[in-house]
Amino acid sequence: MRKPQRLLREGLIQSAARHPEKTALIVEGQEYTYGQLLDTSCRVARALLDRGVKRGDRVAVYMDNTWPCITSIYGILLAGGAFLMINPQTKADKLQYILRDSGATVLMTDGHLSRQFVRAVQGLPALRAIIASGNLPESEQLPVTLDLFALVIEETFPLDEPTFVIPNDLAALIYTSGSTGNPKGVMQTHQAMVFAAWSLIEYLRLSEQDRILLVLPLAFDYGLYQLLMAMKLGATLIVERSFTFPGQIYKKMHEEHATVFPGVPTIFATMISGHRKKELIFPEITRITNTAAALPADFIPWLQEIFPNALIYKMYGLTECKRVSYLEPELVHDKPTSVGQAIPGTEVFLRTLDGKPVPPGEPGILYVRGPHVMAGYWNQPELTGEMLKPGLLPGERILCTGDWFSMDEDGFLYFSGRSDDIIKTRGEKVSPVEVEQILHGIDGIKEAVVVGVDDEQLGQAICAFVVVRAGCELSDRRIKKMCLARLENFMVPKYIVELSEMPKTANGKIDKKQLLQSIQS
C-alpha dihedral sign at 256, 259, 265, 271: positive
Q: Does 473 engage in binding with another protein (CB under 8 A)?
A: no
Stretches 44-52, 348-356, 377-385, 473-481: which one binds another protein (CB under 8 A)? Answer: 473-481
Q: Please, what is the minimum distance in Å from the beta carbon of residue 466 to another protein? A: 15
Q: Of 271 and 343, which has the nearer Cβ to another protein? A: 271
Residue pair 222/199 in contact by the 8 Å Cβ criterion: no
Burial class of residue 198, CB neighbours in 10 A (0-12, 13-18, 19+): middle
Q: Is 248 in the site for another protein (CB under 8 A)?
A: yes
- What is the 3-state composition of the chain as percent helix, strand, coil, each rounded to the nearest 5? 35, 25, 40
SS (H, E, C) 86-129: CCCCCCHHHHHHHHHHHCCCEEEEEHHHHHHHHHHCCCCCCCCE
Q: Residue 336, interface with another protein (CB under 8 A)? A: no
Least distance to another protein from the beta carbon of 273, Å?
8
Strand partners, 400: 367
Q: Does 365 bind another protein (CB under 8 A)?
A: no
CA-to-CA distance for 86 and 84, rounded, in angstroms?
Answer: 7
d(CA 380, CA 186): 10
Give the 3-state secondary structure of 67-85.
HHHHHHHHHHHHCCCEEEE
User: Which residue from 228, 490, 491, 515 is in contact with another protein, where contact means CB under 8 A?
Assistant: 490
Pick the piece of the chain touching another protein (CB under 8 A) from 16-24, 263-271, 339-347, 442-450. 263-271
Binding characters for another protein, 419-438, by CB under 8 A (x = yes): -------x------------
CB 477 within 8 A of CB 496: no
Give yes or no for residue 20 binding another protein (CB under 8 A): no
Q: Which is nearer to another protein, 88 or 340 (CB)?
A: 88
Identity of the residue numbered 165 = V
Q: How far apart are CA 102 and CA 126, in angstroms?
A: 9
**What is the rounded CA–CA span in Å between residue 366 and residue 358?**
10
Residue 286 touching another protein (CB under 8 A): no
Distance CA 32, CA 253 (A): 18
Rule CB under 8 A: say whether 97 interacts with another protein: no
Among 2, 3, 277, 509, binds another protein (CB under 8 A): 277
Q: What is the closest distance, in whole angstroms, from the C-beta atom of residue 266 to another protein in the complex? A: 7
For 277-372, strand residue ranges (E) read 287-290, 311-316, 325-327, 341-342, 347-351, 364-369
Report if residue 119 touches another protein, rule: CB under 8 A: no
Q: Candidates 161-169, 272-280, 294-302, 508-516 — which segment interacts with another protein by CB under 8 A?
A: 272-280
Q: Which of 42, 108, 253, 458 binds another protein (CB under 8 A)?
A: 458
Q: Which of 244, 500, 507, 521 binds another protein (CB under 8 A)?
A: 244
**Residue 270 engages another protein in binding (rule: CB under 8 A):** yes
495 forms part of the interface with another protein (CB under 8 A) = no
For residues 17 and 148, which CB has a smaller minimum distance to another protein in the complex?
148
Distance CA 218, CA 275 (A): 27
Start-to-end C-alpha separation, the chain = 66
Output the smallest distance, CB 190 to another protein, in A: 32
**243: contact with another protein by CB under 8 A:** yes
Amino acid occupying residue 487: L
- Which range binds another protein by CB under 8 A, 235-243, 294-302, 389-397, 495-503? 235-243
CB of 457 to another protein, least distance (A): 7
Contact residues toward another protein (CB under 8 A) are: 64, 88-89, 112, 241-248, 250-251, 266-267, 270, 274, 277-278, 280, 426, 457-458, 477-478, 480-481, 484, 489-490
